[in-house]
Amino acid sequence: MRYLDFDYSEDGHGCGNFEAMASIQPIHVAAVELEIKHVLDWAHTAFPGLQAPLDEDGEWDFDLQEQ
């Protein structure tokens, strides 16, 4: 990963959370979007059929936000 910086934390129930952040110039937006796609493609491949909110019995989920 060139642009994304990951931080891991756990809540009181042992549920893990990875937060990925990037602070970039506008010229690098496409490259960051490609890195995000690679991470999500990996997650879908490594954990097939398990992506859904925890309250809907999912094992993992994501919330993509851009500013």
3-state SS of the chain is: CCCCEEEEEECCCCCEEEEEECCCCHHHHHHHHHHHHHHHHHHHHHCCCCECCHHHCCCECCCCCCC
Model confidence at 64: pLDDT above 90: yes
* pLDDT 10s digits, 38-49: 999 999 999 999
15-29 average pLDDT score: 95
Model confidence at 53: pLDDT above 90: yes
Domain residue ranges of the chain, discontinuous segments joined by +: 5-56
What is the model's pLDDT at position 35? 98
The reported pTM is 0.85
What is the model's pLDDT at position 13? 86
The Cα–Cα gap between 67 and 8 comes to: 21
What is the model's pLDDT at position 33? 97
